Structure 1
Amino acid sequence: MSIIPRCPDCETEMEKGFVPDNTFLGALQTVWHPGDPESAGDTFFGMKVKNRTKTVHIDESGTRKISTYRCPTCGLLRSYAE
């Protein structure tokens, strides 16, 4: 996002960051995936992506990295798939 958003609550310029997605291998940047998640039943992962039959599988061609902006005044977070 080339334009820094302003907080809709207090009109302060927001600061860019991200929310890490913690895994057993470390931390990754969270991504947006199209579609609705479905329960994976009794699997370790807890969810699957629609139209997948086994463990979590992500079609990376449709994903977008998520940047999160934080208002330094009131703490509001707004996330954007970029």
Structure 2
Amino acid sequence: MTEPAADLSWRELEGRVPLDALPDLHRRFLHWRGVADVDSMPLRRVQQRVEAELNRLVQAGQATRSGDDWRLHAGALDGFDLP
């Protein structure tokens, strides 16, 4: 019997990416989530939308909120090219 995959911390995921590449990660995530007009959004708006999409994953039962982090359950990011 195999162990279920551990939850993935969104903050740990962001930590894998150099600081100057974070906006690209966030925009790719929003594109993957189907958010419109991502490329024309100001950076602050992108950050807000990322948090909104992470909260939608929580509502869908695919993640849990833990303080200022989101724990993404196994499969929540299937199809997203992780860094």
TM-score when normalising by structure 1: 0.31
More helix by share: 2
TM-score when normalising by structure 2: 0.30
Larger radius of gyration: 1
Higher relative contact order (CA 8 A, sep 6+): 2
More strand by share: 1
